[in-house]
Structure 1
Amino acid sequence: MSTHRRKKLSALAVAVLPIALLAACASGGGGGGAGGDAGGASEDEELTLSAFDYYTDEPSHTNMGNRLNECAAEVNATVEHRSVPSNQYNQQVLQAIQSRDMPDILMVNNPDLPQFAETGALRPLTELDIDTSAYYESVLNVGTFEDELYGLAPNVNSLVLFYNEAMLAEAGVQPPTTWAELEAAAAALTTPDRYGFVYAGQAGTEGTWTFIPFLWSNGGSQLELDAPEAVEALEFYTGLALKGYVTKDVVNYTQADAKDQFAAGRAAMMINGPWQIPSLNETEGLEWASVPIPVPNAGDDVVAPLGGELWTVPVTDDERERRAAHIVECLNAPETQLETALQNNTVPSNEEVAQQLIEEMPEMASIVETVATAYPLTGDSGTKWPIVNEQISVAIQSVITGQADPQTAMESAQAIVSAE
């Protein structure tokens, strides 16, 4: 990301309006602390710590519980590991904040960090002596709220452009790197039997997330949706559907639906994430590759949203926080990052380990390249993200379905965002 763009995004992140949510709950329970250093455990006392995440599926739940306890054993502790279904998770965390009964270790989906951090229920990791020197700056940005680092992501992901190698070769098309090349490729690859391009356009985070790289790479902001950069991004993005290179059915497509269309040969290119790689590899006869998402002009940085869960340390007492911080650091160990990346098609947050990943999985090279210049999904909207997410979705859908032009759609979206 250019220096100018990063300064703009950072300034917007600081300027967002906070939500008035349980601000008095600066002291968590964490299984037995009232906050600060009052009544804390001693350094040689064996402790049972608690951890929350939403890894309810097996073997993820068991694997994470084992890993937490392996790390806890290094600091004379054990971990009671609780996994809550993802659709109930935020409500459970907010209830824990309100009742001052926070776990000692809390996993947070990165778009949700602002609403939890602003309550004062999380301890800044900079106060707990965790070494972050080997991390991508983009990853540290994901765990930062109002200039304080609250969470670390062992592994991250983002979005890239996947393409069907055989289809591009047959059409004499090179993998596109700019918007002009993307449109030309989509046009050349569109036939009576397939579309040139497909993406997720369904209302909600999946659809919005897929559009954000076009907004940000063009210098746009989530908080200035009626600005020329944002309108231009929406005009280009939706224009591919209006011109017939992308099916208008994308307004109903999730990322999984887009993958299915691509895998079935009904689209030659798609925007998607590395979590689709196992399914693509299992598709008989499919030869695919990927490149970073095309940018407005040659030489521009692609600025895509960064996905991944963060490990945080809620406020309890000094000793519980110290041991919880060790566990968080242990969960982020280089060997763990690489092992997880190889298993889950994610990118290690440690830059050197990410390069090791490319050596073992060359197909992850475009993802690693994208991560280096990526930005937190809520980086310029903060606690306004829910309303921004909703309004961008409405704008995308209204243009593709012919209910509004890009300028009108973005002006309407900005009016609602500004009013909140």
Structure 2
Amino acid sequence: MDKNRKARLVGATVLSGVFVAAALTGCSTPSGDDTSSGSTEYTLWDPYPDRDASSDWAKAIDACAADIGITIKRNAGNTGDTVKDLTTAAAGKLPDIAMVDNPKVSTLADAGLLTTTDDNGLDVSDIQENILTAGEIDGKTYGVPVGANTLGLYYNPDVLEAAGVDIASVVDGASLTAALEKVVASGHKGITFSAVGTEEGTFQFLPWFWGAGADLTALDSSEAESALSLWTGWVSDGLAPQSVLQNTQGTSWDEFKTGEFGFAENGSWFKSQADEAGYGVIQIPGEDGKAAPAPTGGEFITIPIQKDTSRYATSVKIVKCLTEGNNGADSLGYIAPTAAGQQAQLAADPSLQFWVTAVGDAKPRTADNLGVSYGIISEQVYTAIQNALSGGSSPADALAAAQKAAAAKLG
């Protein structure tokens, strides 16, 4: 993952700037020290170095600590650093709570660092299933999502009107390509997205990949080739700029904000900016005429293994407080992972309905029990994207090489 919050695909940029009050409300857990271990200090590691003590997130943590009657010592670092620190921590030095990007849950679980919800007694029955499954491996659940974000297809109504494009006509890859051709013919630019050679590139490709009916265990399928050919064709035909090869999601958004483009694939974290600019958004179209499943982004709150297992009871209280209703989700700009939390968010801002629906239709990157295999597969996907869009290989050859490399690494 990229190290700056703007570039991170699961970047927790605030959706609309509302939700402050909800993040600071008290949680329903009882006050007072209820730690059978006798300690009142608990540690929490998160990947938000940009969110200081004055941030809504830090205040939400403080409110939970006060409500439970403990002290929470917070350590914030970039996503990659947090995962590295967890995997290299000395024996007995794991934090009580650790927050990591959802595909990394399987990495930590495979390393034997995390408790399951069966181990720690955390109730996950009210978590939306398609969000929760990002933390499930072999039928066991390793933590809970603080919330989720996902991708959509933004559009500039002024550019589309000038090009004579009806957004309702965009229902699959072919109709979107036709719309892009009209936009470019009218003197504007077509579409911008991130095809960078990192996890961000894979993240942005997945809706088109899954929307074509492709599977991450068969990268060289005809469906996968169709999806990559769509992207390759846009670049080679001038419907998307060469800059997509280097674009992060942040730089891609900066391109779209120039007002020159008709379309941009990007995340729910840009909702507030899109609203201010008057942009519209639709779900990314699949080849069956329905919305393609976009990947879920967002962090999971996990409870690492402790020598003193009596600490888990209070750790569960912390997790419940930060994920209860829309507390943590609001302070981080995510869609809440529960129906109750989402309803509270919609009551505060009905315009979130689109993103609540989109998150409901989204799919975890580690779905189908890929677990730690996802990281290996993803690397081959973004490598294939780079090779095909740069003209170094045909989509078929790039994907054949990707499948061969993934199979060799996975054994």
Q: TM-score, normalised by structure 1?
A: 0.82
In the alignment, does 2:255 pair up with 1:261?
A: yes
Equivalent in the alignment of 1:274: 268
In the alignment, does 2:229 pair up with 1:235?
A: yes
Unmatched runs of 5 consecutive residues or more in structure 2 = 1-33
In the alignment, does 2:148 pair up with 1:179?
A: no
Given the alignment, which residue of 86, 96, 104 partners 1:93? 86
Structure 1 residues 337, 174: CA separation in 2 closer, same or farther (over 3 Å shift)? farther
In the alignment, does 2:357 pair up with 1:372?
A: no
Aligned-residue sequence identity (percent) comes to 27
Range moving further from structure 2, 268-277 or 63-72: 63-72
Aligned 8 A contact 2:295 2:364 in 1: yes
Superimposed CA distance per residue, residues 358-383 of structure 1 (whole angstroms, 9 cap, x where no aligned partner) = 45434433322121121222335421
CA positional deviation for 1:312: 0.6
The alignment covers a number of residue pairs equal to 372
Secondary structure of 1:190 counterpart: helix
* Whole-angstrom CA distance in 2 between matches of 1:77 and 1:335: 22
Alignment of 1:176-255 (within 5 A): 176-191=170-185, 193-255=187-249
Structure 1 residues 318, 279: CA separation in 2 closer, same or farther (over 3 Å shift)? same
Aligned 8 A contact 1:292 1:367 in 2: no
Given the alignment, which residue of 51, 60, 79 partners 2:72? 79
Aligned 8 A contact 1:177 1:292 in 2: no
* Whole-angstrom CA distance in 1 between matches of 2:255 and 2:35: 58
Given the alignment, which residue of 47, 54, 62 partners 2:47? 54
Unmatched runs of 5 consecutive residues or more in structure 1 = 1-40
Range moving further from structure 2, 361-370 or 255-264: 361-370
Q: CA RMSD in A?
A: 2.3
Aligned 8 A contact 2:37 2:310 in 1: no
Structure 1 residues 366, 310: CA separation in 2 closer, same or farther (over 3 Å shift)? same
Range moving further from structure 2, 372-381 or 216-225: 372-381
* Whole-angstrom CA distance in 1 between matches of 2:194 and 2:187: 20
Letter in 2 for 1:312: T
Alignment of 1:367-406 (within 5 A): 367-380=355-368, 381-406=370-395
Structure 1 residues 295, 359: CA separation in 2 closer, same or farther (over 3 Å shift)? farther
* Whole-angstrom CA distance in 2 between matches of 1:242 and 1:301: 26
Range moving further from structure 2, 229-238 or 351-360: 351-360
Equivalent in the alignment of 1:331: 322
Aligned 8 A contact 1:154 1:337 in 2: yes
Aligned 8 A contact 1:106 1:312 in 2: yes
* Whole-angstrom CA distance in 2 between matches of 1:101 and 1:320: 14
Aligned 8 A contact 1:305 1:376 in 2: yes
Given the alignment, which residue of 311, 328, 336 partners 1:320? 311
* Whole-angstrom CA distance in 2 between matches of 1:239 and 1:355: 41
* Whole-angstrom CA distance in 2 between matches of 1:81 and 1:59: 10
Aligned 8 A contact 2:127 2:338 in 1: yes
Alignment of 1:25-40 (within 5 A): none
* Whole-angstrom CA distance in 2 between matches of 1:51 and 1:263: 36
Structure 1 residues 355, 71: CA separation in 2 closer, same or farther (over 3 Å shift)? closer
Superimposed CA distance per residue, residues 111-146 of structure 1 (whole angstroms, 9 cap, x where no aligned partner) = 111110112221112333333233211111122122
CA positional deviation for 1:259: 0.9
Letter in 1 for 2:303: V
Equivalent in the alignment of 2:342: 354
* Whole-angstrom CA distance in 2 between matches of 1:407 and 1:222: 15
In the alignment, does 2:158 pair up with 1:157?
A: no
Structure 1 residues 192, 257: CA separation in 2 closer, same or farther (over 3 Å shift)? farther
Letter in 1 for 2:140: E
Equivalent in the alignment of 1:30: none
Given the alignment, which residue of 118, 131, 135 partners 2:110? 118
Aligned 8 A contact 2:60 2:331 in 1: no
Aligned 8 A contact 2:60 2:328 in 1: no
Structure 1 residues 352, 47: CA separation in 2 closer, same or farther (over 3 Å shift)? closer
Aligned 8 A contact 2:285 2:291 in 1: no
Aligned 8 A contact 2:154 2:279 in 1: yes
* Whole-angstrom CA distance in 1 between matches of 2:157 and 2:77: 41
Structure 1 residues 134, 42: CA separation in 2 closer, same or farther (over 3 Å shift)? closer
CA positional deviation for 1:67: 2.8
Structure 1 residues 324, 161: CA separation in 2 closer, same or farther (over 3 Å shift)? same
Aligned 8 A contact 1:292 1:369 in 2: no
Secondary structure of 2:292 counterpart: coil
Given the alignment, which residue of 274, 294, 309 partners 2:299? 309
* Whole-angstrom CA distance in 1 between matches of 2:390 and 2:304: 45
CA positional deviation for 1:197: 1.2
Letter in 1 for 2:377: V
* Whole-angstrom CA distance in 2 between matches of 1:117 and 1:145: 8
* Whole-angstrom CA distance in 2 between matches of 1:50 and 1:382: 26
Aligned 8 A contact 1:290 1:363 in 2: no
